[in-house]
Amino acid sequence: MSDNVQTVKVLSKTTWTPNLFSFTVTRPESFKFTAGQFVRLGVNPSRLAYHQQAGNSDAPDEEIFRAYSMVSSPYDETLEFFSIVIEDGAFTSQLQHLQEGDELLLKTMPFGFLTLARYQEPAPKDLWLLATGTGIAPFLSMLQDLQTWENYEHIVLAYSARTKEELAYLDLINTLEADFGGLVDNPAKFTFVPIVTREKVEGALEERFPKLLVNGELEQFVGAKLDPEHSHVMLCGNPQMVEDTRNTLRDEKGMAMNRRGMGNIAVENYW
């Protein structure tokens, strides 16, 4: 393998729903990234244990790469990723069959600007992280970085899914404040906002982000206001959500895209 493409081994796999799963892989010693960044993972279907055990000689013998944000902290010894199964998708339809011991390819150059370093110093008081589906991944990475808890007074994580069972990583989310905020002096206050759009769930909001911003339900749930003077907002998830929410923040809240350290809104577009 070249220096910028390394082989990594699957260590574990967690199935959340028939269409959502996460997995951990070994981490190359030289690989470094900033919380919020993504890499390109590769799979060769013919080399997966699933196809070999089934004697599936029709599995394509080719490398397929896709972008994935890290769930894990920049300081973890392993790498974790969160994936959705896309029906007939060339990559995820193969990746869903991962087994412990399978090998993947990792392009070790990290990408992306959905990082806290892009914002101006000193940091404003509030950090709002708005995610749908697997877009939660980069925010979980950030929230496992102690500097995030040191830089802000209030952190809001709003996580939207279609059904309750699709809200993954709830055990991790519920321990973040104690496990990471508890390690720094004067840590940020943390508020988690679950959102389920296709069924009623006690304690969860029900609408899409743009409507929650317009009707004020999101701010009411959090007990704080989105203010251009002291709020950072990050968006990750479905491209339509990102576009609609960004426009709503601009039109309803007077916020602007972050450029050269100025502005409130940062987004990730690697779909």
Q: Do domains 5-111 and 116-267 have the same CATH topology?
A: no
pLDDT tens per residue, range 98-113: 899 999 999 999 998 8
Q: How far apart are CA 226 and CA 206, in angstroms?
A: 19
Q: Which residues contact 34 (CB under 8 A, 6 or more apart)?
A: 74, 110, 115, 117
Q: Where are the domains of the chain?
A: 5-111, 116-267
Cis before 228? omega within 30: no
How many CA within 13 A on the CB side of residue 247? 7
**Using H for helix, E for strand and C for coil, what is the string for the chain?**
CCCCEEEEEEEEEEEEECCEEEEEEECCCCCCCCCCCEEEEEECHHHCHHHHHHCCCCCCCCCEEEEEECCCCCCCCEEEEEEECCCCCCCHHHHCCCCCCCEEEEEEEEECCCCHHHCCCCCCCEEEEEEEHHHHHHHHHHCCCHHHHHHCCEEEEEEEECCHHHCCCHHHHHHHHHHCHHHCCCCCEEEEEEEECCCCCCCCECCCHHHHHHCCHHHHHHCCCCCCCCEEEEEECCHHHHHHHHHHHHHHHCCCECECCECCEEECCCC
Max CA pair span of the chain:
60
CATH class of 5-111: mainly beta
CB atoms under 10 Å from CB of 13, counted, come to 17
Nearest in space to 66 (alpha carbons), one of 31, 35, 101, 104: 104
Q: Are 20 and 159 in contact (CB under 8 A)?
A: no
Q: What is the dihedral of CA 124, 71, 222, 166, to 10 degrees?
A: 160
**Span of 49-63, 141-155, 168-182 with lowest mean pLDDT:** 49-63
Q: How far apart are CA 72 and CA 126, in angstroms?
A: 23
pLDDT at position 113 is: 83
**What is the mean pLDDT of the segment spanning 125-135?**
96
CATH class of 116-267: alpha beta
**Span of 19-23, 57-61, 75-79, 111-115 with lowest mean pLDDT:** 57-61
Query: Which residue matches tokens 């699709």?
Result: 166
**Span of 48-57, 160-169, 201-210, 230-239 with lowest mean pLDDT:** 48-57
Q: How far apart are CA 96 and CA 22, in angstroms?
A: 9
CB atoms under 10 Å from CB of 178, counted, come to 11
Q: Is the pLDDT of residue 86 over 90?
A: no
Q: Give the predicted TM-score (pTM) of the model.
A: 0.92
pLDDT at position 44 is: 84
Q: Are 229 and 223 in contact (CB under 8 A)?
A: no
Q: Is the pLDDT of residue 50 over 80?
A: no
